[in-house]
Amino acid sequence: MMLRLLGSSLRYRTGNSLGRCVASVPQARSKSTLADIEASKVQLDLISNRKPRPDPATLSFGKVFTDHMLVIPWKASTGWGTPKIEPYGSFPIEPSASVFHYAACLFEGLKAYRHDNGQISLFRPDMNMKRMNISAQRVALPTFNGDELLELIKQLVRLDKDWIPNRPGYSLYIRPTLIASQPAIGIAPASEALMFVICSPAGPYYPDGFKPVALYGTTEYTRAAPGGIGSFKVGANYAPALVAQKEAAKHGYVQNLWLHGPEHYVTEVGTMNAFAVFRRPKGDIELATPALDGIILPGITRDSVLGIARDHVSGKAKLAGLPDDLVVSERPITMLEVKEAAKAGNLLEFFGTGTAAVISPVDKIGYLGDDIAIPTGPDGMGPISRPIWQQLTGIHNGAIPHPWSVIISE
C-alpha cells in the first residue's frame, strides 16, 4: 500500500465547504512505522550572498524566486525524510522520473502579506494543507502531516520575508508542490516523491484599479467530468485547459468560462471559481456559485466569500454594504438562466474568485455567438462583490483583525 493515512495531528476547522470533501480521507493514523514530516528536524543551508530584490514596478508573476526553498524527500520504504531549507535552485532529476511521463504532480498556492505594523501573515493556510493531502490521495502521491509542513513553510517565509515588497497590494506567493520522482516508467503509484516549496514576490493583480474582463463561454472543451479530477488541485487539470484559453483569446476574449454538459452549466472562470449575483422575482438579491458536486475546485477564496456572506446573513458578523435579505446559494447555474437574467436586467454581477486576483469582475460573456453584457460600477466592481472584496483584502493586509489571518512574524 503506497498511500499513507493522514496524521491524527492534522486538524482542520469544520463547517466550511472544503470540509465536505474530506469524507473519504481517513482521520485516524494507521499503525505505520514510516516517518512523517517533522519540522523540528529541519536542516538549514542558508545562502551566503542574498540575491538582489526585483523592482516592484516591473514585477511579473511567478518568474522571480526568493533566496530559499524547502525540500523534503519521500520514499515508500521509509516515509518522509529530513526537511531542508536551502538556496533556491535547480536540482538533478532523471528523465525517467514518473512526473515527466504521467503527470504525478500537484500544488497549492497561498500568499504571505505584510501588514502596516510590519507583521507578516498567511491567509487560512490550514485549508491549503488539507486540500493538498486530498489531492495527494487522488493521484497516488504520499500524504503528510499538514501541521508540520505548515510550520516549515512559516519558517521559510520568515527567512525570506524581506522579499515581500513593502507596498500596498503586494505579497509573497507561496507554492508548495509535490511530484513523483522515482526513475521508473512503469505506471504505478509514487514510490519516491519530492515535496518542495518555493516563493515568488507578487504584485497587485489590478495595479491601476479593477478592470473587468470579457469571458468566452467554452463549449468546445471540457475542464472536468464527474468521476474525474476537477475538484482536486492536481497538475493534470491545468496544461489540458490551455487550449480553451487560447480559443478564448482567438475570439477576442480575455479568459474562458467553462460550461458543462448539454445544459451549459457554469462551472469555473479560467482557473477561478465562478459567482453570479441575481435579483430574484421578490426583489431580494442572491449570491450564487456552483455547488461542490465533484467537478468544482473547492477554492479557498470561494469558501471565504461564502463565509463572509453567510456570517452577514446569520448576523454573526454584519458587513456594511450588503443587503440584510441577501440569499447565499451553492446551486447549479445554467447559461440560459444567466442570459435571461441579463436580458431582464436581473443579473447584477458575475465574477471569478481565486488567490491571485481575489475577486475578478466580468463585464461580458460571449456565448454561442452573442455577447451577454454584465453591469459593473464605476470602480469596475458590483454592489455585492465590492464590500466582500474590501473585507477580504482588509483581512489580508491586517486592517481587519480576523482568525483567518495567521500571524507568523511580529
192 forms beta bridges with 75
Q: How far is the CB of 91 from a second copy (least distance, A)?
A: 7
- Determine which residue in the list 6, 69, 72, 306 makes contact with a second copy, applying CB under 8 A: 69
Nearer of residues 121 and 218 to a second copy, judged by Cβ: 218
CB of 405 to a second copy, least distance (A): 24
φ and ψ at 409, to 5 degrees?
Answer: -155, 125
How many Å apart are CA 112 and CA 313, to the nearest integer? Answer: 29
Q: Identify which of residues 50 and 101 has a Cβ nearer to a second copy in the complex.
A: 101
Residue 297: CB minimum distance to a second copy, A: 13
DSSP label at residue 24: G
3-class secondary-structure state, position 349: strand
Cβ proximity to a second copy, 200 vs 385, nearer residue: 200
212 or 354: CB nearest a second copy: 354
For 12, other C-beta atoms within 10 Å of its C-beta total 17
Among 59, 67, 84, 107, binds a second copy (CB under 8 A): 107
Helix 300-314 to helix 125-138 angle, to the nearest 10 degrees? 130
Quote the least distance from Cβ 129 to a second copy, whole Å.
Answer: 18
Q: Phi/psi at 328 (nearest 5 deg)?
A: -110, 120
**Of the residues 118, 168, 186, 321, which one makes contact with a second copy according to CB under 8 A:** 186
Please choose, out of 39-47, 136-144, 300-308, 385-393, the segment that lies near a second copy by the rule CB under 8 A.
136-144
Selected binder of a second copy within 8, 11, 27, 93 (CB under 8 A): 93
What character string, x for contact with a second copy (CB under 8 A) and - otherwise, covers 207-246? Answer: -------------xxx-xxxxxx----xxxxxxxxxx--x
Residue nearer to a second copy on the CB measure, 26 or 377: 26
Does residue 65 belong to the site contacting a second copy (CB under 8 A)? yes
Q: If we measure between CA atoms, which residue out of 171, 362, 205, 336 comes closest to residue 275?
A: 362
Q: How far is the CB of 386 from a second copy (least distance, A)?
A: 27
Beta-carbon contacts of residue 261 (< 8 Å; ≥ 6 apart): none
Residue number with CB closer to a second copy (69 or 120): 69
Contacts with a second copy by CB under 8 A: the residue count is 65
Binder among 29, 41, 50, 175 for a second copy (CB under 8 A): 175
Indicate which single residue of 15, 95, 252, 281 sits in contact with a second copy (rule: CB under 8 A): 95
Nearer to a second copy, 260 or 396 (CB): 260
Partners of 286 in beta bridges: 278, 327
Contact of 388 with 305, CB cutoff 8 Å: yes
Q: Using the rule CB under 8 A, is 187 a contact of a second copy? A: yes
Give the separation between CA 329 and CA 287, rounded to whole angstroms.
Answer: 6
Query: Helices in 262-334 by DSSP H: which ranges?
Result: 300-314
Site stretch for a second copy (CB under 8 A), options 7-15, 92-100, 382-390, 398-406 = 92-100
**AA letter at 147:** D
Quote the CA–CA distance of 125 and 355 in Å, as a whole number.
12
Say how many C-beta atoms besides its own lie within 10 A of residue 346's C-beta. Answer: 16
CA distance linking residue 206 with residue 352, whole number of Å: 14
Tell the residue number behind the cell numbers 470540509, with chain if given.
19
CA distance 12 to 19: 8
Residue written as cell 446551486? 331
The smaller minimum CB distance to a second copy, of residues 44 and 242, is found at 242
| Residue listed under C-alpha cell 463547517 | 15
Write down the least CB distance from residue 92 to a second copy, Å.
4
Q: Looking at beta carbons only, is 198 or 342 nearer to a second copy?
A: 198
Q: Which of 86, 101, 111, 121 is nearest to 172 (CA)?
A: 111
177 lies in the binding site for a second copy (CB under 8 A)? yes
Q: How many CB atoms lie within 10 A of CB 20?
A: 13
Q: Which of 10, 104, 296, 347 binds a second copy (CB under 8 A)?
A: 104
Binding site residues, a second copy, CB under 8 A = 3, 60-63, 65, 69, 88-96, 98-105, 107, 137-140, 173, 175, 177, 179-180, 183-189, 196, 198, 200, 220-222, 224-229, 234-243, 246, 271
